[in-house]
Chain A
């Protein structure tokens, strides 16, 4: 598998439900980031979790990181129609300096009323 692969590829839920997306990566990381992309638009940074953190919250978002399994999950609670977007995990190299992000393939989330 490639660095940063999300599953599922697509997820359809009803408004109010929770959405969980998973990301797996291959190499060691310094941090892992989640981004949202609305159709045809730019990438919006959602949350960053460092390798020494196991869980992080931001509003309705909850991110977990398991470095032993090289995996992360993004939970969106009480989803809204406006959450409809693609969600990507991304990892920079573990060298400690800013450099390229490697993006996953993304999860397309559809939230219906």
Chain B
């Protein structure tokens, strides 16, 4: 069964450092997403991406965040200057063109710890 792959599985970084979280979505999906889950809290939407541009973003996704699809397979989330409150599990997801038929496929996540 096709999978969404995320790397690394765990990243520890110092406050103020830049991090890049990587994702390989399912190859025939056209919509890509990043979500995050702070420990013990709800899964929160960050951003959706379609046709090489952001289609929607939440208020969490401020200027410190950016997304990119540098080639035909990778989808990255960059946090420019990490803060302690960025510590969370970050999930990448992708979906079919309408997201209506098969739901969204999530990766297993990257646990980001900012110290």
A interface, CB within 8 angstroms of B: 30-31, 33, 35, 40-45, 47-48, 50, 88, 90, 92, 96-106
Contacts and interface: CB of A to CB of B under 8 A. Distances in A.
Q: Is the interface of B mostly helix, strand, loop or mixed?
A: strand
Contacts of A105: 42
Interface centre among A43, A48, A102, A104 (most CB of B within 10 A): A43
B43 to A, nearest CB: 4
Nearest to B41: A105
Interface of B: 31, 33, 35, 42-45, 48, 50, 55-56, 58, 89, 91, 93, 95-109, 111
B33 A100 contact: yes
A88 B106 contact: no
A45 B45 contact: no
A43 B43 contact: yes
